[in-house]
Amino acid sequence: MLNRSLLAAAILASVAAAPVQAAKKDNSVRFAYDQVLENIDPYFNNVRLGVIMSHAVWDTLIYRDPNSNEYKPGLATSWKWIDDRTLELELRQGVKFHNGEAFDADDVVYTLNFASDPANKATAQQNISWVEKAEKVEQYKVRIRTKRPFPAAIEYLAGPIPMHPNEYYATAGPKGMNEKPVGTGPYKVTEHVVGKVIRLEANKDYWASAPKPKATIERIEVRMIPDRQTQVAEMLSGGLDLIMNVPVEQAEQLKAAPHLAVTSGLTMRIVFILFNSGQNGPNDAIKDVRVRQAIAHSIDKVTMARQLVGEQARVIETICFPTQFGCTDEGARRYPYDPAKAKALLAEAGFKDGFDLEFLGYRERPQTEAMVNYMRAAGIRANLKFMQYAAMREQHRANKAAATHQTWGSFSINDVSAGPSAYFKGIDDDMIKDPEVIAQFEKGDTSVDPAVRKEAYKRGLQLVNERAYAVPLYALTTNYVSDKDLQFKAYPDELPRFWEMKWK
């Protein structure tokens, strides 16, 4: 984090010499993000920057209005359930991909069947694993067959499941799609320097009747800058126009810069500590439920939320966002901040003198450091290992991470199937594979009766808390810092919608 005095001096310097608004003059926006995107192909990454790029470059079959949450026609003009496992969609005619390839049923069938095939190892497999197969009925009509009833299918088709051009994708594959992305969206990629920058240009031929408006900003430059100090310095000097996820203390200070504006809002992204307590986990102490409960009691999440996240932060008791279908904390075990109880539980488990714990994190470092300090105060010798998300995810999936500071935005899907199910339903990120927990989330994901779904999710969330597989903490707010003349709206789904932005 920037030193307070250095930041104050930089702000004073910006007051004395207002930056030149080059981006405004050439109708472009320079945006930076603090994570490196491993692959821009939406099926082969699960970081927030990938979600942002997915919505800018690609389109989905169905569109969910972010203001009303109403489902609207996208690349599909209509849809209907033929039976509990078969969804039929009429497709839009006259749409072209950025490379000129015409959109039709072949693109839908190839995209869904390729991404849902486990052999192709999609990183975001949980978003597409419900698809058994897609079939072409006519040139502009398809049917999607699900492996089992999956009532949240419409929500997923409106979110993390964009359409690829079948001819190009069959040749290029995920590697080629990363190097030269091709979608139908409001922006097309003109350059991708992997790990550094993505340059976008407004799609002048964006299809008529699209629910997303045709872009007004002509060019977007997306820079991957993990160092927050560099991002802030660039904002102050006029080298950037928009950054997000700015820590609350810095955001408050940056309000003093006359050429900048700070916009804040609650998001769907939840924060939690995830334990690998499975049989093959790397730390034996974490396999003891009393140790996990001790860690839960050692964290003062109320103070953390208020001081490190901001007044809008929302403390949570289960690992889901309250608006998601099926999210509840009814009957779930609570773990209030109680250092004495934490120490007693550790002693009861045979760790009166504490134990060593490698603790992994990848963003909001001040929050990760606070968790480490709380654990140390309880007697746990926690050591922080901070890295990029992809590296942390691989450590976790390889059974090498005992405890991690996780954040999860559910790919902006307003359904519990996109939240805890990703970590506790026996798939890639589930290192515990508790059969009782899996059964409850599977029941919630596949039951067609909403009441049955809610009850199953409630029981699954109760079991996760009871067995202390995770420590739910809070939902994050996002602080955006932008040029004061850039008009944009902050949405709870953490998507900067470039196609809606305008310069004053």
470 phi/psi in degrees, rounded to 5: -150, 160
Quick check: 13 pLDDT over 60?
A: no
CA-CA-CA-CA dihedral for 202, 206, 208, 214, to nearest 10: -10
User: What is the tens place of the pLDDT at every residue in 308-349?
Assistant: 998 788 999 999 999 999 999 999 999 999 999 999 999 999
Q: Residue 138's pLDDT band (boundaries 50, 70, 90)?
A: very high
Q: Of 331, 308, 288, 341, nearest to 407 (Cα)?
A: 308
CA-CA-CA-CA dihedral for 253, 266, 272, 318, to nearest 10: 150
User: What is the tens place of the pLDDT at every residue in 269-316?
Assistant: 999 999 999 988 999 999 999 999 999 999 999 999 999 998 788 999
Q: Residue 1's pLDDT band (boundaries 50, 70, 90)?
A: very low
The amino acid at residue 433 is K
Quick check: 8 pLDDT over 60?
A: no
Global confidence as pTM: 0.85
Q: Which residues pair with 137 in a beta bridge?
A: none
Mean pLDDT of 402-423: 94
pLDDT for res 77: 98
DSSP 454-489: HHHHHHHHHHHHHTTSEEEEEEEEEEEEEETTEE--
Q: Which residues pair with 222 in a beta bridge?
A: 31, 198
User: Above pLDDT 90, what percent of the chain?
Assistant: 89
Mean pLDDT of 89-116: 98
Domains defined for the chain, CATH in brackets = 35-186 (3.90.76.10), 266-477 (3.10.105.10)
Mean pLDDT of 86-101: 98
Q: How far apart are CA 334 and CA 471, in angstroms?
A: 10
Strand ranges for 276-414 from DSSP E: 314-315, 356-361, 381-386, 403-408
pLDDT for res 14: 55
Q: How far apart are CA 168 and CA 166, in angstroms?
A: 6
pLDDT for res 240: 97
Q: How far apart are CA 428 and CA 203, in angstroms?
A: 36
Residue 424 vs residue 311, higher pLDDT: 424
User: What is the tens place of the pLDDT at every residue in 178-204?
Assistant: 999 999 999 999 999 999 999 999 999
The span from the first CA to the last CA of the chain, in angstroms, equals 31
From the number of C-beta atoms within 10 Å of its C-beta (0-12, 13-18, 19+), residue 226 rates as middle
245 phi/psi in degrees, rounded to 5: 60, 35
From the number of C-beta atoms within 10 Å of its C-beta (0-12, 13-18, 19+), residue 440 rates as buried
Mean pLDDT of 163-173: 98
Q: Residue 355's pLDDT band (boundaries 50, 70, 90)?
A: very high
The secondary element (H helix, E strand) that includes residue 429 is none
Q: Which of 10-24, 51-65, 437-451 has the lowest mean pLDDT?
A: 10-24
Average pLDDT, the chain: 94
The secondary element (H helix, E strand) that includes residue 79 is strand 76-83
Under a CB-based contact definition with an 8 Å cutoff, are residues 330 and 286 in contact?
no
* Pairing status of strand 470-483 against strand 141-146: unpaired
The secondary element (H helix, E strand) that includes residue 394 is helix 389-397
